[in-house]
A and B are shown apart, each in its own frame.
Chain A
Amino acid sequence: MLNMTVIYFISYLYLRTSLKLMFAFCLHSDEGLSKHPVSLETLYPSIKIKVYFALFISGKSKEAEIKRINKELANIRSKFKGDKALDGYSKKKYVCKLLFIFLLGHDIDFGHMEAVNLLSSNKYTEKQIGYLFISVLVNSNSDLIRLINNAIKNDLSSRNPTFMNLALHCIANVGSREMAEAFAAEVPRILVAGDTMDSVKQSAALCLLRLNRTSPDLIPMGEWTSRVVHLLNDQHLGVVTAATSLIITLAQKNPDDFKTSVSLAVARLSRIVTSASTDLQDYTYYFVAAPWLSVKLLRLLQCYPPPEDAAIRGRLTECLETILNKAQEPPKSKKVQHSNAKNAVLFEAISLIIHHDSEPTLLVRACNQLGQFLQHRETNLRYLALESMCMLASSEFSHEAVKTHIETVINALKTERDVSVRQRAVDLLYAMCDRSNAKQIVAEMLSYLETADYSIREEIVLKVAILAEKYAVDYTWYVDTILNLIRIAGDYVSEEVWYRVIQIVINRDDVQGYAAKTVFEALQAPACHENLVKVGGYILGEFGNLIAGDPRSSPLIQFNLLHSKFHLCSVPTRALLLSAYVKFINLFPEVKGTIQEVLRADSQLRNADVELQQRAVEYLRLSCIASTDILATVLEEMPPFPERESSILAKLKKKKGSGTVSDMEDSRKERSTNVNGSNDHIVTTSPSSDLLGLGHTQAAALNSASPPVTSNAASLLVDVFTESLPVVPPTSIIEENFSRFVCKNNGVLYENQLLQIGLKSEFRQNLGRMYVFYGNKTTTQFLNFSASLVCQDLNIHTTPADPVVDGGAQLQQVFNIECLLDFVEAPVLSVHFRYGGSMQNISIRLPITLNKFFQPTEMTSQEFFQRWKQLGAPQQEVQKIFKAKHSMDTEVTKAKIIGFGTALLDGVDPNPSNFVGAGVIHTKTIQVGCLLRLEPNTQAQASCSVKRTHIHAALYTLMTINCNIDYCSTDISKGKIKIFKCIFKSQHSQNK
């Protein structure tokens, strides 16, 4: 029956493609059913089956096949239509033929009814063909589905194991939602019922697995889950295997429900592992005891942390050791199946060891085992070994052990034929790198880079750059490495890499001289990569003076060297070089003439490119009119860069997805002792790709990078830098429209000449959702748009906003709000964006106030006043007496109270002019009932008295707000002053 289950699952997949397979499977399944000795001849005696099918398979041509099939179909139609009822046997025969024709790729639009009829037959073969037809051909929305479900139901309750199996297979093969709906309750019952046969249990487990995959929401979790776990103890290994698959899937979803499976799984595993290969007769595959079950059990264990119980833990360790020991034994068979099965278990065991990451000895042993595989003949094994080692390298126990294999890995990198394996080797080298072997690994990677495949070059470049930076002992080595990198694989060196070099050089005084010297030497090469020219231009521009003393690198020689590359470069590089030249003017007054000559040349002053032209004009002018002092200030050395996360790392993470690299980085971060200042604060700020501000015009960069210049020499520079940078005013929190939203949920919150912010929100109990619309009122784009929310007592989920808002466009952002506690401060929304050249910052208080979480409550007059009187304690009451500046309209007031969130209780207060409201404030932690009473008083003097509740500083604020907006404006026309009294009474829900 194991065969049967597997076959049915597999055969469904293969049916459509391979005829031969299908019939092979049929043969198999027939053999498996010893109780029903059916041969193909008894299934299809009258069809000369071989001839019949051979015709289709070796058909002369497509046309001949179609003719034959048309004829066959017409025959079957006439048989189905015929007056006399068909007996079960011929019905089965024709349905089988139809199925076969369908599998050949022809449409079948009849015969469904006959197939359904077959289901109610009592003969196995007839039922089987019926189910087969239905699993393959009936689509889920068919109107026959009710009949089919009925038949399946009958079979499931039939207690005949073969029929039950057929029905379960059919459910699994169809696996539609309707099926799941109909049988989601039934299948688990069969699975855990005590009297179910093993084979049926097995099928039921797999069927449930399939239903769980297609429609997990329909599977009821109930007490059966705990009993499923005990199937791991079943006598029948087939049942255990099927159940393990099911448990793995379920445990991944709700690990807590299946915790108990760990101990059972360990027990089962140890029994398998320690058994002699002859014990598990049917389940021994090429001398390996139950490899599939072992693998599944190991997978199941990977869903959980290491078991806490020492005994279980010891047993598991024992198992894993045994598996590792077995790998050392000489193979019992030369067949590839034997080694495959053995290694599958081994690798799964190793990944469990890595997952647990707690047993140093095991980790080291696993590492040694993998080390052996590194030199194995099998490419797949080498690949797997490298991949697992990558994981091992990040474990602190085995890191050293992995390092011992460095020679082998480097060798693999050089000699391996398969590119995917080489890629893994690179990954492993990266993972195993630390201070002790960084130099060697970086050197190896660099030398490999020259011959590496183009597809992985960029990644290697990034890795080299990161390793070089991270483990640099002295910066001369770092600078050498990166320059080498640019030389070898310039095309693959991304912007981030050379930005980073410059950042580091500028931030470290000790390396600047060396860097200038090295760059100067590197530039001597007749053909050098553009990236090198960029680095060279920047560094010489900044630190050229440090090597100017040497007559071999005098200022003029430096300048000529740079300028010799000028014409070969692209526009951005030329722009950079122009900036370097103007810096030269400051550094070396003696070359000023030469440089001015160059800038004055037509090719610069009248360059077709606006950027180059502008730079040439501005720099020339600057050098002519500015005094040396001003020049020195303007063209001062760049200030050190603020520390941020290495952008290269960010790029590598992005490239790899958030997969292994970042994990490894994170785990490694704690261990790696940093040599390098810049790595000390790896996660301080978000990575920015535009590290040097090179994206803006260099003029602006000069200006903004040296803030003192603007302040000191601003007046002098007016004629040079005509456009002044817009300065962003410090922003305060805007609250102007805040109070309007206390009683309403939708509207425009903020508007200026650039931006309009609109709101739409809804609240229910302690949850709320707010849609914020950012409308761009201008015609130009907002760049780098971001909006964030700061709040403590609210749990707010924000959908990310698009960084670009087109002119005239509207951007929507959704906040999902959960009220955790009562709160006073409404959250502040800060919006940043770049409009034109300037950053705009706007901070607005978002109208999320406590009263939004009011649920209105209806009360009778008696109840209300009973509660009202109960809440007499001073800290439970807030009262405020205030002047109304408005004429009071009853309807408006009523609307406001409803808008405030409470229920308006009509006819509760004996005084009809008073307003009374009640409601419950929901937060995640508590619920607070609140009563409200508003007493308009036309005669009394204006005064205000407040009592604060112990709970509600918040309510106090609210009340103030409410009172203020609603009534605090003077109604001059009537000349009257009205005074209202508003009382809030509140209470913990616990008190009720």
Chain B
Amino acid sequence: MIGGLFIYNHKGEVLISRVYRDDIGRNAVDAFRVNVIHARQQVRSPVTNIARTSFFHVKRSNIWLAAVTKQNVNAAMVFEFLYKMCDVMTAYFGKISEENIKNNFVLIYELLDEILDFGYPQNSETGALKTFITQQGIKSQHQTKEEQSQITSQVTGQIGWRREGIKYRRNELFLDVLESVNLLMSPQGQVLSAHVSGRVVMKSYLSGMPECKFGMNDKIVIDKQGKAGASDEAGKSSGKQSIAIDDCTFHQCVRLSKFDSERSISFIPPDGEYELMRYRTTKDIILPFRVIPLVREVGRTKLEVKVVIKSNFKPSLLAQKIEVRIPTPLNTSGVQVICMKGKAKYKASENAIVWKIKRMAGMKESQISAEIELLPTNDKKKWARPPISMNFEVPFAPSGLKVRYLKVFESKLNYSDHDVIKWVRYIGRSGIYETRC
């Protein structure tokens, strides 16, 4: 279990230090600073073992969060906790920065007391936490004794993530499918690796204790239904419409037993914003863009680069925030760029040509060509040719996921599924989207 948790600034100064177990000494704080933050070689592994003590760290901008333990813990659990911790802090005071942490350190200690007990993670649901951990920004409503006792029963009860007696005039529900698509492609256009990791994020403003049911075009479900209704709906649900999900994880509110038996996702939602599920797919991914690089070395002192990007989705859709990053050799002494669309610039500080296009419709093509002048060096090392990377945002899910339904049942209060206003949105973003050149 987690023995302690430290937060450092970029200089390695400790901002927060909370030790849960005796086996973690004061020197652990320094050990991490010396061996990881101030290490000569940048430490890339998120898990570092120093003197039989394991350090798990995540970095948020300039801030290091490190969980420490002497035991053999489940590393995935520790990281899950650290991410959750970041979410909670963001929900409480916004961006995680040195200043914010310094301003909120009382709050952070209070949070740490609540969400970790003797190193065991406890309820880290932001909504639930906000009901009883209140500081500055989060004002406590004048709670009566009764309400306070209610908090206790709710937090310790079966449905810890939702309190009773919530009432809204308008029952609304927002559902976002957020996906990031990752790709590595060879110069010839062969896909070397590709996967989509997606999240279904919900914001629910529903009264009472509603029971929700979420349906999507999961291949297993569709096939099952297809078999059941083979006679009447044989042709309609074609294989293309369904997707194969490699693995998925759910919010704690989802009834896993039901998912296991019927593969249906049913739950009592928390109030406010939460992440319902996370999934990953690797098959039949729609790649929104194709990058075609052309690099030619002209002698020792010149390099010609031509990059073509093609958008590969419905012409009616518009991709946004497109950015292509073409790395340049380390001995570049000058760059001339010509591009048809958008703006391109050589950024010396990043050793790359950055080409930005605001909007681009589907089934279009655009091109950039650059001449790079090189300075002859005495180093015999050849340029490693890092891949060309790309950033974008598209209004569909590259995995092909579709929300089929989201039903809300509330038996006690009299509002039905039809009374709930539902919003669905798909956003596909680039993860690590690279093409070798």
Partners in one complex: yes
Contact A70 B350 (CB under 8 A): yes
Q: Is B373 an interface residue (CB 8 A)?
A: yes
Best-buried of A67, A71, A109 by chain B (most CB within 10 Å): A109
Contact B331 A67 (CB under 8 A): no
CA distance in complex: A75, B334 (Å)? 9
Q: What distance in Å separates the Cβ of B332 from its nearest Cβ neighbour in chain A?
A: 6
Within 8 A of B (CB), among A59-116: 60-62, 67-68, 70-71, 73-75, 77-78, 80-81, 109-110, 112
Residue of B nearest to A68 (CB): B349
Contact B62 A74 (CB under 8 A): no
Residue of B nearest to A73 (CB): B348
Q: What distance in Å separates the Cβ of B63 from its nearest Cβ neighbour in chain A?
A: 11
CA distance in complex: A81, B333 (Å)? 6
CA distance in complex: A78, B332 (Å)? 8
Contact A109 B378 (CB under 8 A): yes
Contact A70 B378 (CB under 8 A): no
Contact B333 A77 (CB under 8 A): yes
Contact A71 B377 (CB under 8 A): no
CA distance in complex: A67, B377 (Å)? 21
Q: Is A143 an interface residue (CB 8 A)?
A: yes
Q: Is B22 an interface residue (CB 8 A)?
A: no
Q: Is B345 an interface residue (CB 8 A)?
A: no
Contact A70 B375 (CB under 8 A): no
Q: What distance in Å separates the Cβ of B23 from its nearest Cβ neighbour in chain A?
A: 27
Interface residues on B, range: 10 to 19
Contact A77 B349 (CB under 8 A): no
Within 8 A of A (CB), among B319-344: 330-334
Q: Is A715 an interface residue (CB 8 A)?
A: no
Contact among A62, A75, A109 with B348 in the assembled complex (CB-CB below 8 Å): A75
Chain A residues with CB under 8 A of B375: 77, 80-81, 110
Within 8 A of B (CB), among A503-525: none
Given contacts A61-B62, A80-B375, contact A70 B333 (CB under 8 A): no
Chain B residues with CB under 8 A of A112: 378
Contact A142 B378 (CB under 8 A): yes
Q: What distance in Å separates the Cβ of B85 from its nearest Cβ neighbour in chain A?
A: 22
Residue of A nearest to B11 (CB): A61
Q: What distance in Å separates the Cβ of A73 from its nearest Cβ neighbour in chain B?
A: 8
B341-373 near A? 1/0 per residue, CB < 8 Å: 000000011110000000000000000000001
CA distance in complex: A74, B329 (Å)? 10
Residue of B nearest to A77 (CB): B333
Chain B residues with CB under 8 A of A142: 378
Q: Is B10 an interface residue (CB 8 A)?
A: yes
Contact among B333, B351, B379 with A109 in the assembled complex (CB-CB below 8 Å): B379
CA distance in complex: A855, B350 (Å)? 74
Best-buried of A68, A74, A144 by chain B (most CB within 10 Å): A74
Contact B348 A71 (CB under 8 A): yes
Q: What distance in Å separates the Cβ of A82 from its nearest Cβ neighbour in chain B?
A: 8
CA distance in complex: A644, B62 (Å)? 71
Contact A78 B334 (CB under 8 A): yes
CA distance in complex: A74, B62 (Å)? 26
Contact among A61, A70, A75, A110 with B351 in the assembled complex (CB-CB below 8 Å): A70
Q: What distance in Å separates the Cβ of B2 from its nearest Cβ neighbour in chain A?
A: 27
Residue of B nearest to A67 (CB): B349
Given contacts A61-B62, A142-B378, contact A109 B349 (CB under 8 A): no
Contact A110 B331 (CB under 8 A): yes
Contact among B62, B331, B334, B378 with A143 in the assembled complex (CB-CB below 8 Å): B378
Contact A81 B373 (CB under 8 A): yes
CA distance in complex: A65, B376 (Å)? 25
Q: What distance in Å separates the Cβ of A64 from its nearest Cβ neighbour in chain B?
A: 9
Q: What distance in Å separates the Cβ of A779 from its nearest Cβ neighbour in chain B?
A: 43
CA distance in complex: A601, B351 (Å)? 86
Given contacts A61-B10, A67-B350, contact A74 B378 (CB under 8 A): no
Q: What distance in Å separates the Cβ of B40 from its nearest Cβ neighbour in chain A?
A: 9
Chain B residues with CB under 8 A of A62: 10
Chain A residues with CB under 8 A of B330: 109
Chain A residues with CB under 8 A of B331: 77, 109-110
Best-buried of A62, A77, A112 by chain B (most CB within 10 Å): A77
Chain B residues with CB under 8 A of A80: 333, 375
Beyond A70-B350, A110-B377, 10 extra complex contacts between A and B, CB < 8 Å: A67-B350, A70-B349, A74-B333, A74-B348, A77-B331, A77-B375, A80-B333, A80-B375, A81-B333, A112-B378
- Could you show 6 A-B contacts with beta carbons less than 8 Å apart? A70-B350, A70-B351, A73-B348, A74-B349, A78-B334, A109-B379
Q: Would you list the 10 A-B pairs with minimal beta carbon distance, nearest first?
A: A74-B348, A81-B333, A67-B349, A109-B379, A77-B333, A71-B349, A109-B377, A71-B348, A110-B377, A78-B333
